[in-house]
Structure 1
Amino acid sequence: MTRTLLWRGMLAGILAALLATLVARVIAEPQIDLAIGYEASHAAHHAPAAAEEPELVSRDTQKGAGLFTALALYGAAVGGIFSLVFAYGYGRFGRIGPRSFALLLAGLAFLLIVIVPGIKYPQTPPAVGQHETVGIRTAAYFMMIGLSIAAAVIAAHVRTALLRSLRPIDATLLAVGAFALVVGVGQYLLPVINEVPADFPATLLWNFRIASIASQAVLWGTIGIAFGLWAEPVLRRA
């Protein structure tokens, strides 16, 4: 059964990637074009005599096949991992149906992988930031994702332990407090990275971040809905 859920999760991830690509193409890519235009004008103003570097991959390819390929690979990977986590967790958290549990799990993944890390390291357009710090920025962001997931695991164990002596609502509130404490301490200890130029348009930055969150919301929402629909018949037969 796990193998069946695995390939269905990967298919759900690819479908989610297709829809997320459409959303990103409509609302995120125009913001990236504006950010690239800002970078080009800024570079021309500071170094007008510098020769223009050749474009290795055209913007049309980046916005079309390149964007879908990257999101399809990402969607298939996270969809497969999602299905394995679903297979492990289903039936362990009360009497909840597969579709409801898939949606709950997708919402939790969206919170832990997108929202919580984005509080510390919000998304910025590719044209913003220094090339020399790509490595440390990437490492810090993935550390924030790992911290968010670890905090959720700790909170789950705290809630389980407190249920022996407290009511469920009290145990849940204390577990949420433990999650917030771990995340807050981790965000305080992780390095601060802010490379957005002072004269970068605030509206452009805001629109890009909203578009990035919307694309991720479509991705995870589609995975939760599609996988729940495709997993339900498998679990009924089992």
Structure 2
Amino acid sequence: MDIGIRNGWRTPKTSESSGSNFLGLLRSYPNTIPRERIHMGNVHSGKRAMVISSLKKANISASRKQRIKLEINGEKELTFSEFLKHPSGMEAVINAKALQSYHLVDDSDDTYRCTLPKVQLMSFEVYPVLVLRVTPTQEDCTVELLSCKLEGSELLKNQSERFSAIMTNCMTWNMEHPEPFLEVDVRLNVTLEISTRPFTMLPVSAVEAPGNLVMQTLVDTLVPLLLQQLLKDYDEWIKKQQRNSLNATS
């Protein structure tokens, strides 16, 4: 017989009351232990945040400023600003002769989609596609790179998501100067995701330092070529306008 306590006195307990108390304890047992809910969503988002924060990105940049002399033609209507208003001027600014194709972006009169000639990388072919915005005024002209993508091979096309590029080319000129000139100020910045070994095991500076050297060499090579081609196109436009003027008066 079980012994219980009631009102301070020890009293016998029946098996029935003992059983009912035991069953009640079992029923209340799950609720007597505090439980903590685990939010799996927070765990997963934390993992995603850790992955995102662990990505390394290299910032590579280069710039060049250069001035070139403009020939005096003696005709005010043939200034460089007038040249840029002509379709030939726009083609010269975006260097259309070096492009495979180009066309205006829909609903825009100053933004061009430019496709460069194909590039062979091992057994893959890709076509770099640039979107350029050209903003000319009477005093200057600014060319901005809005996007740069790779098209062609799906494998290399996906690499477009791993880098981004920003470029500005600000052109200014002075036709009233004793020595008329055209000046360009080019600035290029590339952000590159570091996702392959052994580069992921190195500090970011180990990628940025040689990357800056390569980028600067590229800019130092291309800017003078761009200026020379721009000057050549300008001279050809002047001669063409002068011939048209002579033919109209004869």
Question: Shorter-normalised TM-score: what interval?
Answer: under 0.3
* TM-score normalized by the length of structure 2: 0.26
Structure scoring higher RCO (CA < 8 A, sep ≥ 6) equals 1
Q: 1 or 2, which has the higher strand percentage?
A: 2
TM-score under structure 1 length normalisation: 0.27
